[in-house]
Chain A
Amino acid sequence: MRIGSLAVAVICCFALTGCSFKAPQTERTLFVMDTAASVKGTEKDVELAVDTLTDLGKRFDRYDPESDIYSINHRLGNAVSDAAAELIKQSVRLSDTYGETVSIFAGSITDAWKIGSENPTVPSEETLSDALNSFQNADFSLDSMSFADKNGSVDVGSVAKGYALDKISGQLTGECCVVSMTSSVLLYGKKADSEKFSVAIRDPDDGTKSVGTLHTEECFLSTSGGSERYFESNGKRYIHIFDLSSGTPCRSDLTSVTVIVGRDTEWGGMLSDFLSTLVFIGGTESLGKFMNDPQLGVIALTDKNTIYVSENVDFSPAENSGYKVEEWKNER
């Protein structure tokens, strides 16, 4: 008898180490907004999030003839949904506040490079200068939600995921939910073991490796870099983030930028999505302002294998990642 109970006790101990008393959780993966999304949480929350992602993905798909964005771009004159109008207004506000280096009206440049099609290509000089003209002369009216003339095209790729996460954040009711869209993540609520959330930051040179782990309370976070989205032509890599002054892929001395915004921040999802791209484009030269913003957490990787982490971020670097963490110094 004694042996029996002891054995049971030992087996229980073993079982407990592999199990962490989590509330029943469901996980779903789906392909939406040109990326892989996964939702983990209660069944109700997962269903809500998947529905919202699917719905918004359709509305914002610039290649879907039934989408709001397609209607705007092809001057179809269909009524634009509240979601698309809100997304556009908030994007314009962000560009007004932080700068025009990220703009949702640069769709003609995306088109010139055939990004999103099966065969992205390097455009001819003529095509590129036409695209730039179309972007620079774009005159969009927020009242009518339309362009004044044939110039301009909307591409909400830089903010749509953040917007979707903002919407989902307001719908969730469970205790804990993780919505991951590869480059943008919503961490909602508190984990059952009250530990912080752990998020791996992918190595931009090798997506299967991580450069370290971020420990955080509930928040929105987004990463921008050239690793997930690029195409190759004649051995050269072209990333999908553009320098809007030249219409060519942006050359940044940063290789990956992660921006973390508290979940209680209004439009925090959009802010992190938008700023990760903006900070990436700006390079180390304009990093200081964001490193010191108490509202933001920033993890920036440089092409010299340095990782800059803002003070308010709890980050543990991976061993042997080839990167070294350096303190950000303001006098740079």
Chain B
Amino acid sequence: MKDKFHLIKPVEAVIIGIVLLTAFAAIFITNLQNDSPQTAVISCGDIRREISLDKDGTFHFDGIDAEFEVKDGKIRITSATCPDKICEKTGFIGSGQTIICVPNKITVAVVGSDSSIDAAVG
């Protein structure tokens, strides 16, 4: 009887297996998605807007002279009124990266839930 106490019933073994598999799959998928979901913080003067990067689409905010596109967890500026268009040329950015539009004073920063990188320079 004592031995039986330590035995796992087949049903239990299957359930434990499923739980473990799900957990590992979840860890794997999370790593694969690079800490998704992430948020882009857009600031322009005193205006501050946040958008989640888990939904694709194009966005515009009142008072900010630019349009934004979110795709595959990344964000870019699609059209800005500045003359040099450096912000548009920056293209899509992901975790820990920023887009800067100097003439319009717009910054876009992608903030990850947990990133191994503390800062980026250049």
A, B in one complex: yes
Q: A interface vs B, CB < 8 Å?
A: 2-3, 6-7, 10-11, 13-14, 17-20, 27, 29-31, 34-36, 38, 40, 118-120, 178, 180, 182-185, 187, 191, 197-204, 206-208, 210, 213, 221-223, 225, 227-232, 256, 258
Interface size on B, residues (CB 8 A): 44
User: In the complex, which residues of chain B have a beta carbon less than 8 angstroms from the beta carbon of A232?
Assistant: 84
User: In the complex, which residues of chain A have a beta carbon less than 8 angstroms from the beta carbon of B35?
Assistant: 18
Q: Which residue of A lies closest to B113 (CB)?
A: A18
Given contacts A27-B111, A34-B102, A208-B94, contact A185 B119 (CB under 8 A): yes
For the complex, is B72 an interface residue (Cβ under 8 Å from A)? no
Contact A31 B12 (CB under 8 A): no
With beta carbons under 8 angstroms apart, the residue of A10, A187, A207 that contacts B90 is A207
Q: Which residue of A lies closest to B11 (CB)?
A: A3
User: In the complex, which residues of chain A have a beta carbon less than 8 angstroms from the beta carbon of B91?
Assistant: 206, 208
User: In the complex, which residues of chain A have a beta carbon less than 8 angstroms from the beta carbon of B45?
Assistant: 31
| 22 examples of A-B residue contacts, CB within 8 angstroms | A2-B12, A7-B19, A10-B19, A10-B23, A18-B35, A20-B114, A29-B109, A36-B100, A36-B109, A120-B84, A180-B119, A182-B98, A187-B118, A197-B118, A202-B120, A202-B122, A207-B90, A208-B90, A208-B91, A208-B97, A229-B102, A230-B86
User: In the complex, which residues of chain B have a beta carbon less than 8 angstroms from the beta carbon of A27?
Assistant: 111
Chain A-chain B contacts (Cβ-Cβ < 8 Å), number = 122
Contact A31 B107 (CB under 8 A): yes
Given contacts A118-B103, A228-B100, A231-B84, contact A221 B121 (CB under 8 A): yes
- State how many angstroms separate the Cβ of A141 from the closest Cβ of chain B: 32
With beta carbons under 8 angstroms apart, the residue of B12, B16, B109 that contacts A38 is B109
User: In the complex, which residues of chain A have a beta carbon less than 8 angstroms from the beta carbon of B117?
Assistant: 198-200, 213
For the complex, is B10 an interface residue (Cβ under 8 Å from A)? no
Contact B114 A200 (CB under 8 A): no
Contact A223 B122 (CB under 8 A): yes
Q: Which residue of A lies closest to B76 (CB)?
A: A208
With beta carbons under 8 angstroms apart, the residue of A2, A40, A201, A230 that contacts B121 is A201
Contact B121 A13 (CB under 8 A): no
Q: Annotate B82-114 by CB proximity to A: 1 below 8 A, 0 otherwise.
A: 111010001111101111101101110101011
Bound CA span A13–B24, Å: 10
For the complex, is B51 an interface residue (Cβ under 8 Å from A)? no
Bound CA span A101–B105, Å: 29
Contact B15 A3 (CB under 8 A): yes
- State how many angstroms separate the Cβ of B21 from the closest Cβ of chain A: 10
User: In the complex, which residues of chain B have a beta carbon less than 8 angstroms from the beta carbon of A178?
Assistant: 118-119
